[in-house]
Structure 1
Amino acid sequence: MKQRARIAMSDDDVTAFLEGSRKLQLATINPDGTPHLVTMFYGLDSGHIAFWTYAKAQKARNLARDPRVSCLVEVGESYDELRGVLLYGEAKQVHDRAHVMAVGMLVARRTNPGVPDDLLRPYVETTGLKRVAYVVERTKVVSWDHRRLT
C-alpha cells in the first residue's frame, strides 16, 4: 500500500476531526490571482464548514468575485503527529439573516466552549449586523494522519 493511502482518513475520521477542531486556514483569491490566507474560527452547518466575516473584509470581497476556497485544518507539532484535512470548494453566501445569525452562533459556541447561548446571543446579534456568512460546498477533500505511519 502506498504511503498516501495509509495516511488518508476515512470519511468518518474527517467528520470527527472537523467536529473536534475550532479554527482553519481559509484561502480566497485576490484580484491579482494571489492567495489571501487568514485564520478563521468556524462552525459546522449540517456537516459543512461555515464561517462569518465582516462584509467589508478582503475575504468577503474576494468571495463576491470568485467563490472558490481552500480550507486547511491541521494539528500536530512533530511530523509523526501531523493530522489534517484540506477542503477545496465553493463558499456559498448565506443571504437569510436568521441563517447568518445561526452561523454566528455556531462559530461563537466553538470559540467560547461552555458559555451558555443566552450570554453569546447578544454579542452575535450586535456584531452580526455587519457580518456576512458562508457555507462551504466541498468539491474535494484531502486528509492525512501521520500517526498511522508508526
Structure 2
Amino acid sequence: MSRRDQIQMTPDEVRRFIDSKKTITIVSNGPGGFPHPMPMWFARDPDDSIRMATYRTSQKIKNIQRDPRVSLLCETGIEYQELRGVVLYGRAQLIDDFELACDTLLRAGGRGEGLPRDEAAAKTVMDAMRKNAEKRFVIRVAPERVVSWDHSKLGGAY
C-alpha cells in the first residue's frame, strides 16, 4: 500500500473533518494568473457541496466570473504526525438568491455558536444578517475531485 493510500481519509472522515472547521480557504485564479487564496466561513450541504456568501464586488467574485475553477482547503496540525487536511477541486457557481444568502450566512456564521438564546438578541442578529445578505452572492462548489491526508494514520512513522 502506498503512503498516499495510507494517509487518505475515507469520505466519512472527510465530512467529519470539514464539519469540524469553521473556516475554509477558497483559492480562485486572479487577474494576473496568480492564485488568490481567501479564508471564508462556510456551510457544507448534504450533497457535500460547499457554500459561502461574499460581497458581490469582491475580488473572488470577479475571479470566478472570469474563471470558475477553484480549490478549497481545510487543514490543521503543527507537527508532521498531526498534519490533516482536505483539498476540494471544483467549479464555483455564483448564485444571486437572497434567501439562500441568508441561509448560508446563518449556517456559516452560526457554526459552533448558534443564535443567541435571548429572543431580542437573536432578532437583532437575524435582522443584521438579512441586511448583510442583500449585498452578497452565494458561492457554491460541488467537489469534482477530493484530496485528503491524515498523517496520524502513520502511527508516528515518517
Give the TM-score normalised by structure 2.
0.88
Partner of 1:76: 77
Match of 2:132 among 112, 127, 133: 127
Partner of 1:31: 31
How many residue pairs get aligned? The number is: 149
Q: 1:125 to 1:11 in 2, by over 3 A?
A: same
User: Where in structure 1 do 4 or more consecutive aligned residues deviate above 6 Å?
Assistant: none
Match of 1:143 among 142, 148, 152: 148
- Aligned partner of residue 132 in structure 2, secondary structure: helix
Equivalent residues of 2:27, 2:35 under 8 A apart:
yes
Equivalent residues of 1:55, 1:132 under 8 A apart:
yes
CA RMSD, 1 decimal: 1.4
State the 1:115 CA deviation: 2.9
State the 1:3 CA deviation: 0.6
Q: Percent identity?
A: 35
Partner of 1:16: 16
Partner of 1:48: 49
What's the CA shift string for 1:89-148, capped at 9, x where partnerless?
0111122221121111111112x6143464531221111111111111111000000000
Structure 1, unpaired ranges of 5+: none
Bigger share in strand: 1
Counterpart amino acid of residue 29 in structure 1? N
**Greater C-alpha Rg:** 2
Counterpart amino acid of residue 123 in structure 1? A
Give the TM-score normalised by structure 1.
0.93
Partner of 1:108: 109
Structure 2, unpaired ranges of 5+: 117-121
